[in-house]
Structure 1
Amino acid sequence: MGFNYGIGISSMVCLAALGMGSCAAIEEEPMPDVNATPTKLELEVPDGFPSPVYMEDNPLTEQGVLLGKTLFFDKSISADGRVSCASCHNPALAFSDGLALGAQGVSGKALERHSPALFNLAWMGNGLFWDGGSKNLESQALGPLTHADEMGMDLAELEYVLSLNPSYTEMFDAAFEDGTTAVNVAKALAQFQRTLVSADSKYDRWMGEASGVRFTDSELKGFALVKKHCASCHSGELFTDNKFHNNGIDEDFSDTSHEMIRLGRYRISHAEADMGAFKTPSLRNSMVTAPYMHDGRFGTMDEVLDHYANQVANTAYTSRLVFQNGEKAGIPLSQEDISAIKDFLHTLTDQDFIGKDYWTDSN
């Protein structure tokens, strides 16, 4: 699969007990007390970020987050034992996979959608997936778990497999009153993903007036250009409005594919204004999460910016936000502008986030 996370899913769980090999090299820690109340975990909100979206029926706990992390990197929760969540969401790529349309799933078939990066998900309250087809992280988790071309797992079988594992049984009992259930798998995965916070880039340190952090002239120019031309969608400290827009990448919206992905948000809302509209990704970490768009059609940031400068399709559904060249679709950008924007986007790369070791680091 390219990323063998199954060999080190958690310093807290003996891998021999999980059926994935020896745990001799893993530093063991005491298992959680199953009789104790789960320990509440407060999510630290970075400066300038809005309030997170809280799920009252799935509050963050230390035990739930640890369980979710363990499950995220465990290939045994797929139908053939070869695919984990991390197979398509590599931490070193801000939890993306570097592929246009991945084929790492149990069927070996290419997916119809590009695997999105995963970070700052605690602030996504307007639907998940490129078209917002899932309302929250809990329901979203069940999609790849059961999809025939992703993890392909029957939920009853998943519960059975996990219930046979004493280490998992202890962890589920410590995290949830009702123990090992498919619903709690989704809840635990959601809890872990809500802790994936990226807010320590050069940009963040510069905004916080950290000692010795300076922007170059080109970075400053790029920041000004992003605020002028891009902030209508890539807004705030999250650098996304978490909304859906048709950005003029298609002219034809007829779609006979299985998932009708080209229809965008319209597939869910059936509102004509949502035809071909897709969720705005964050600009954070964007220089390490290529390729781009819902189908990964643009391999580089240069291609993305060239699209906005020269290739925006003028359709009845194209967002008026990209009509920035008089009455013409598109954004006026010179090659010097494009270079400056890329320089600024590099300042949004959170090196600590993409460099974190999830086998040994605590949450």
Structure 2
Amino acid sequence: MKLRYLLFAVSTAGLISCNNDESQEYVPVDPYANIKATFGNAIDPDNLANYEAQAIPAYITRDNTAGNPVTDKGAMLGRVLFYDKNLSANNTVSCASCHNQANAFSDAKIASEGINGTTERHAMRLVNERFGTEQKFFWDERAATLELQTTMPVKNHGEMGFSGENGDASFSNLLDKLSEIGYYKELFSFVYGSEEITEAKIQSCLAQFIRSIQSFDSKYDAGRAAAPNDGAPFANFTQQENAGKQLFMAPPVFDASGNRTAGGLGCAGCHKAPEFDIDPNSLNNGVITKLGVAGFDILNTRSPSLRNALKPDGSSNGTFMHTGEFNSIEAVLGHYNVINVSAVNTNLDPRLNPTGNGVHLNLTQAEINSVTAFIKTLSGSNVYTDVKWSDPF
């Protein structure tokens, strides 16, 4: 009597070899079975979305990517992590909970809801985060890089709850949790050649996904592409939009009391065109209250790009400032129109206090309307609908 046996072995071709005595058959193994079962057509490892080779206008020169370039594989995994509520301790909150694609990756709520309460500052827009000189992140710049920033909300007790304090599980518990999920075993193997999940890998992929979120299909971009520089009139702009652009770009002239007597508004001194990112040397902008509690908060010196501050229809992508206290661009301009110098604010940007009295821009309604019209031209449309930045679950 012959000894019959079955020997199962996975071949390098991804096949199961069944040796049964004199016969041999091969049964294919799908290395992406869990990915396909979870995401369907949203993620196809054999046909990845284009993250790494997106078109960037020639006039865009600032880039804070440093040593973590955007790749199709890395950004794809970052997209999954960005939308996955498994990254919160009770499976109810993801990065996208506070950074919604419908709001240019900001939040319509003033204070975002974490698993243990609300956030201390309004959620910042994430569009075009790659295209800025400033490499520090959060309103108060407490994260030295975007990579470090990505996991800080995860490790925050109030936001996503893997703090290792106040009875929370630790970040290592999160790594163990993710390691038991089938689609992450396949995804990390696909991207890194190993199922091992580390914080550094999570940070790298999340940062790649965030840096891939770009917007260059605005009316401003169409005008800038055809103009020799930002100072020249844009042929596709209305007279009002060109007037607003000039007011935005040109520096103001002040008298000895800080009253604007001529020139523009000097917005570009802190929000430099054509990226409209924040000048790294900017200090506090005069908003020193805290969100929802008493006290002062003078360390906020960063802001998101002004691109897509508004939706294409002109409505707001949520409120403005770290406190979320302004509901419109007109209200923001009203703040800068008269800067009241407080003795508490020892970190006020000198551009807002050139003579020690605080600036008085003396804006007319026509100027407010013109600058608002110009800021509307900075909004594209693709960022709100492109599936590669959407929820894959």
TM-score calculated relative to the size of structure 1: 0.78
Alpha-carbon deviations, 1:37-66, whole Å to 9, x = none?
A: xx993564322112422332x333221111
C-alpha displacement at 1:357, in angstroms? Answer: 2.8
> Counterparts of 1:195-214 in structure 2 under 5 Å?
195-209=212-226, 214=236
1:247 aligns with 2:288: no
Q: Give the one of 268, 273, 277 matched to 1:231.
A: 268
CA RMSD of superposed structures (Å): 3.2
Partner amino acid, structure 2, of 1:100: I
- Partner of residue 120, structure 1: 128
The answer to whether the 8 Å contact 1:322/1:331 transfers is no
Q: Distance in 1 between matches of 2:217 and 2:120?
A: 32
Q: Could you say if the C-alpha distance between residues 193 and 48 of structure 1 is closer, same or farther in structure 2, counting changes exceeding 3 Å?
A: same
Q: What letter corresponds to residue 138 of structure 1 in structure 2?
A: E
Q: 1:226 to 1:312 in 2, by over 3 A?
A: farther
Q: Give the whole-Å Cα distance in 2 for the aligned partners of 1:351 and 1:261.
A: 37
Equivalent position of 1:297 in the other structure:
325
Shift of 1:117: 0.2
Give yes or no for the alignment of 1:356 onto 2:386: yes
Q: d(CA) in 1 for partners of 2:42 and 2:374?
A: 42
Question: Hey, what's the Cα distance between the residues in 2 that align with 1:318 and 1:29?
Answer: 47
Query: Paired residue for 1:7?
Result: none
Instruction: State the secondary structure of the residue aligned to 2:188.
Output: helix
Q: 1:27: which partner in 2?
A: 41
Look up the equivalent residue of 2:382 and give its one-letter code.
D
Map residues 275-354 of structure 1 onto 2, 5 A cutoff: 277-287=300-310, 288-313=316-341, 315=343, 317-323=347-353, 328-354=358-384
- Of 53, 67, 73, the residue aligned with 1:63 is 73
Q: Shift of the alpha carbon at 1:172?
A: 0.7
Separation (CA, whole Å) in 2 of partners of 1:199 and 1:40: 14
Superposition deviation, residue 313 in structure 1: 3.0
Show CA shifts across 1:90-113 (max 9, x none).
11111001222122x111x12111
- For 2:119, which of 98, 111, 117 is the aligned residue? 111
> What are the within-5 Å matches in structure 2 for residues 131-142 of structure 1?
131-142=140-151
SS at match of 1:284: coil
Partner of 1:8: none
1:20-99 correspondence runs (5 A):
26-27=40-41, 30-31=44-45, 41-42=52-53, 44-56=55-67, 58-99=68-109
Number of equivalenced pairs:
320
In structure 2, give the amino acid aligned to 1:292: F
Give the TM-score normalised by the residue count of structure 2.
0.72
Unaligned runs of 5+ in 2: 1-31, 163-169, 228-233, 251-264, 311-315
CA distance in 1, matches of 2:239, 2:305: 23
**Could you tell me whether the CA contact under 8 Å between 1:158 and 1:182 is conserved in 2?**
no
CA distance in 2, matches of 1:13, 1:350: 37
Moved over 6 A (4+): 359-362
Q: Which residue of 2 aligns with 1:274?
A: none
Gaps (5+ residues) in structure 1?
1-11, 34-38, 265-276
Max Rg structure: 2
Partner of 2:185: 169
Q: Does 1:192 align with 2:230?
A: no
SS of the counterpart of 1:214?
coil
1:242-283 Cα shifts (integer Å, max 9, x gaps) = 423222233x89x9x79x87031xxxxxxxxxxxx4213322
The letter of the residue matching 1:193 is: I
Tell me which residue corresponds to 1:263. 298
Structure 1's 317 and 146: CA in aligned 2 closer, same or farther, altered over 3 A? closer
CA 1:312/1:240 → structure 2, altered by over 3 Å: closer, same or farther?
A: farther
1:147–1:62 distance in 2 versus 1, CA, 3 Å: same
State the partner residue of 1:218.
240
SS of 2:276's equivalent? coil
1:146 and 2:155 are equivalent in the alignment: yes
1:30–1:235 CA distance, 2 compared to 1 (3 A) = closer
Deviation digits for residues 283-304 of structure 1, max 9, x if unmatched?
Answer: 2111233311111111222211
Tell me, in whole angstroms, the C-alpha distance in 1 between the residues paired with 2:244 and 2:70.
37
Higher relative helix content: 1
